[in-house]
């Protein structure tokens, strides 16, 4: 379902002996087949169940006029589930995962790894990938729920545009070929693309920060405090980005704008913004891992 470059072991050589040994000793998702099967199940099954709920609601009211409470109730419930999953991932499971890494780093285990024939970069990236795999059950659930949110929002918009027209067949063609509808759908696609992939990007970035903190700070309370601050800053930046994107989308959605303006101005601008954000994320993650590498393998 997800492209390979978004899977948690993408940035490590899966043939590496250390990575294979640590991966196969996990209690769950301890093979590529299991991880892929779980990913397909969650990313396809979760949205399908929620969309089925949406259709049952509409058939229950015979596709008549749907009140705003009913139209957005399911989206709000799904968003609430997204927030709970994100909180569990960030403030409970991730500190535990990285706490395990800090324990290993401050023990003789790390000295033995440094003396092994393994490449230093392979050692660091293996632990980074294992941390991502440990957190992948929640990451995949969050991505699946976000896919459902985007699909629900698109269905609600289409339903609202379709409902006032008595001639269903004719109005569907008119809606799909309407330039403004096409332009707004393009905006929704770009915003939804960022919204769906954000958990994968966020988890990778926070894990890189945690590895850096664990290799540079030995005091456990200070490590925990620093991790909480990093989590909060990342989530504030995430919230700011989502609010900005949604505000811009609503501004264009609530005013009459020609299809040329949408196609030439805003949609390419959204694409450029995504590319720049992805480049900034790559640079920030690389900088954090470089700091961790220099601390983890410096000569004592």
d(CA 117, CA 95): 30
pLDDT band at 141 (very low <50, low <70, confident <90, very high): very high
Extract the runs of DSSP E, i.e. beta strands, from the chain.
none
pLDDT (0 to 100) of residue 46: 93
pTM of the model: 0.84
Looking at every residue in the chain, the average pLDDT score rounds to 80
Tell me the torsion sign for CA atoms 53, 57, 62, 66.
negative
What pLDDT, on the 0 to 100 scale, is given for residue 221?
78
Counting Cβ atoms within 10 Å, is residue 238 exposed (0-12), middle (13-18) or buried (19+)?
A: middle
Task: Report the pLDDT value the prediction gives residue 280, as an integer from 0 to 100.
Answer: 86
**pLDDT surpasses 80 at 84:** yes
Query: Residue 78: what pLDDT?
Result: 93
CA atoms 254, 259, 265, 271: torsion sign:
positive
Q: How many residues does the chain have?
A: 300
pLDDT tens digits along 106-119: 778 888 888 888 88
Task: Name, in order, each residue with C-beta under 8 angstroms of 215's C-beta and a sequence gap of 6 or more.
Answer: 105, 292, 295, 296
- 24-80 pLDDT, tens digit each: 988 888 889 999 999 999 999 999 999 998 888 777 665 555 566 666 788 889 999
Could you tell me which residue, 187 or 264, shows the higher pLDDT?
Answer: 187
CB-based contacts of 7, cutoff 8 Å, min separation 6 = 35, 39
Q: Which two tokens stand for residue 89?
A: 């991932």
pLDDT digits (tens, 9 = 90+) for 155-208: 887 776 666 554 555 455 555 556 566 666 667 777 788 889 889 988 999 899
**Looking at beta carbons, which pairs linking 18-21 to residues 24 or more positions away fall under 8 Å?**
18/113, 18/116, 18/118, 18/122, 18/123, 18/126, 19/122, 19/126, 19/129, 19/130
pLDDT single digits (tens) 216-228: 887 777 887 888 8
């Amino acid at each position: 379902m997800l492209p390979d470059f978004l899977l948690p072991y993408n940035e490590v050589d899966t043939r590496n002996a250390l990575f294979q040994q640590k991966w196969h000793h996990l209690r769950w998702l301890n093979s590529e087949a299991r991880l892929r099967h779980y990913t397909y199940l969650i990313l396809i099954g979760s949205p399908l169940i929620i969309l089925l709920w949406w259709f049952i609601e509409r058939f229950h009211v015979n596709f008549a006029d749907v009140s705003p409470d009913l139209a957005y109730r399911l989206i709000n419930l799904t968003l609430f589930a997204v927030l709970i999953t994100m909180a569990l991932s960030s403030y409970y499971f991730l500190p535990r995962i990285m706490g395990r890494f800090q324990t290993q780093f401050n023990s003789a285990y790390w000295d033995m790894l440094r003396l092994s024939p393994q490449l230093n970069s392979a050692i660091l990236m293996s632990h980074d990938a294992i941390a991502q795999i440990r957190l992948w059950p929640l990451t995949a659930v969050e991505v699946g729920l976000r896919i459902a949110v985007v699909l629900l929002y698109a269905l609600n918009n289409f339903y609202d545009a379709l409902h006032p027209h008595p001639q269903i067949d004719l109005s569907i063609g008119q809606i799909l070929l309407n330039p403004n509808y096409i332009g707004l759908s393009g905006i929704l696609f770009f915003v939804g693309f960022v919204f769906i992939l954000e958990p994968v990007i966020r988890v990778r970035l926070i894990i890189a920060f945690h590895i850096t903190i664990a290799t540079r700070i030995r005091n456990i309370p200070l490590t925990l405090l620093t991790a909480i601050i990093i989590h909060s800053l990342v989530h504030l930046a995430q919230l700011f980005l989502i609010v900005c994107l949604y505000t811009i989308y609503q501004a264009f959605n609530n005013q009459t704008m020609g299809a040329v303006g949408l196609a030439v101005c805003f949609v390419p601008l959204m694409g450029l913004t995504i590319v720049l954000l992805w480049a900034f994320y790559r640079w920030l993650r690389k900088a954090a891992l470089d700091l961790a590498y220099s601390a983890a393998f410096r000569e004592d």
